[in-house]
A and B are shown apart, each in its own frame.
Chain A
Amino acid sequence: MSVKIKEYAGTPLREEDLKQGKVLSIGYWPKAKYTWSAGVAIGRYLTELKNARIVGRQCDKCGRTVVPPRMFCEWCFRPNDRWVILKDSGVVNTYSISHIAADATRIKEPLIPTVIQIDGTTDAGILHLVGEADPKEVKFGMKVQAVWKRPEERTGAITDIRYFRPIEK
């Protein structure tokens, strides 16, 4: 805003103005559908999740071991060097306590979205949930372990890990 300008454009509407048809509007519900190939690195990652194993990629040049895996090192910009099978445990790098769902509606039992640094990796971690835990008792640096779905339930998806549970108080 400038003292030289006296009037600003823009006409506020209320939700009711649309719902009650006080202003004309038109609706649209996109029906686009997608199927994504998992690709080389994530394809192997998901395959191993089905086997109840977490795998990462190691780069000899910068020395990083990262998960989620990628076939190239974005730091060194070269192919990274090998797959490594990691433990299915790690530590809480950061966490939050979510009282709302993906569509912004409120949920009764809060979720605990967490970045978990998987043991044996060098960088912060992966996004997952912490479960079997009172949100008040989750701590930074807390050790957690993957809780897997039963073998027949696993599909090769990140949700093959139901959540990570605390392994020490």
Chain B
Amino acid sequence: MTKFMRRAQETGKELAYEAARMAVDSCGLRIEDIESVTMGSAPDAFDGVHMKGEYLIDGAGAWRKPYMRNYVGGGTGVFAPIHGWQHVASGLFDTCLVVCEEKMSSCRPHPQAAFLTIFDNFTERPLGPNLLWIFALEMHRYMHVHKIPKEKIAAVSVKNKKNALDHPCAQLAQKITVEDVLNSEVLVWPVQRLDISPTSDGAAAVVLASEDVAKKITDSPVWIDGVGWNLDTAYWTNRDLYYPQYVENAAKMAYQMAGIKNPRQEIDFAEPYDPFDYKELHHMEGLMLCKKGEAPDLAWEGLTQRDGKLPVCPSGGLLGVGNPIAAAGLMKICELFWQLRREAGKRQIPGDPKTAVAQAWGDLMQVGTVVVMRA
């Protein structure tokens, strides 16, 4: 992966190249060994470049190869490896390079404006919404249903920004307190400045291989044992936003494939999607890592710290490492890979983690993408 940052000098193509090159090199392959490539990248509107997949092809190492772009909004970064998995698990290819790239800084003064077209043309856009509205509405509903105090949610932001201090690619690693979060600028209540991940530029990549090929490449492969994805209705105002049912559906699909019956006991650590602090908690519940409404207590009691009973976002997550949308999701897959191979250095979680789950989320608060990996 590249460093994540507010604005990079490199173009999207150059960022994609750096990440893809690093991934291919790190497993001792040549680009000739890569039989197929999938690219994950979020809205074209960020770049002002249409057909972004095609535009990025050369940087993604896909010259004259079977190549496809996939896109499910913020869920893209964890969908891209699912897409790559489909390439290999189908038997079509022995190898697939998965690349995710995002360059949000080109959209000025702020990529916020590029988000507005996600709202319904007739029933929502004339009301002048901004993207934070939907998060604030969801967060507030979640807090209301479970009577969650804001400080328990703020603990997630504190943890992830701290975890990111040990990540060399991190954009927003910092030591902050719960009070700092609670005293930060109120944007759209209950969302405050320090509840949110930044906008970022960056890229990440992984190489997937069939079982036979993987065993030839390395003595310590990490396996994708389960994949799942699921989308809810685009009529988002018709849903009860307190619970992400579609994440649960995606998780069930992935767990069933991986033979996981009791996720709370069988998952050693998790990288749920955390563009906002409450989302990590919301997604822990959707991933069935705890009961509905229980996640804030786990965060508050420290159980989700790196040395806790259930480490969550040991990477530092989007809140700490940064949020170049698709690349941020794939960064979570990278973290699972490094943790399961015990290569995570200062971020390494204690014990002997064997099974982990990564998840991303997006579109109009409607998609869940889930990958289970095992050492």
Contact = CB atoms under 8 A, between A and B. Distances in A.
A4 interface: yes
B120 interface: yes
A8 B72 CA distance: 27
Contact of B137 (A38, A111, A115, A158): A115
Contacts of A42: 122-123
A124 B237 contact: yes
A73 to B, nearest CB: 11
A25 B171 CA distance: 23
Given A3-B343, A96-B137, A23 B186 contact: no
A143 B241 CA distance: 19
A2 B127 CA distance: 46
Given A12-B6, A12-B7, A128 B127 contact: yes
Interface in A9-38: 9-15, 17-18, 23, 28, 30, 36, 38
A12 B8 contact: yes
Given A3-B343, A100-B130, A158-B123, A8 B2 contact: yes
B9 to A, nearest CB: 4
A159 B187 CA distance: 24
Interface in A124-169: 124-129, 135, 140, 157-159
Nearest to A126: B237
B133 A96 contact: yes
A1 B10 contact: no
A3 B130 contact: no
Nearest to B17: A9
Contacts of B345: 1-3
B363 to A, nearest CB: 15
A38 B123 CA distance: 10
B58 to A, nearest CB: 16
A10 B18 contact: yes
B178 interface: no
Interface stretch (B34-42, B80-88, B108-116, B252-260): B108-116
A40 interface: no
A42 B132 CA distance: 25
Interface string A96-129: 1111111110000001011100000001111111
A127 B140 contact: no
26 contacts: A1-B167, A1-B344, A2-B343, A3-B345, A9-B2, A12-B7, A13-B8, A68-B123, A74-B235, A96-B136, A96-B188, A98-B132, A98-B133, A99-B189, A100-B132, A102-B128, A103-B112, A103-B130, A104-B130, A114-B137, A115-B137, A126-B123, A127-B124, A128-B127, A129-B127, A158-B124
Interface of B: 1-10, 15, 18-19, 22, 26, 48, 105, 110, 112-113, 116, 120-124, 126-130, 132-133, 136-138, 140-141, 144, 167-169, 186-191, 201-202, 233, 235, 237-241, 338, 341, 343-345, 347
What 9 pairs between A and B have smallest CB-CB spacing? A96-B136, A10-B3, A9-B18, A94-B141, A123-B238, A97-B189, A11-B9, A10-B2, A2-B343
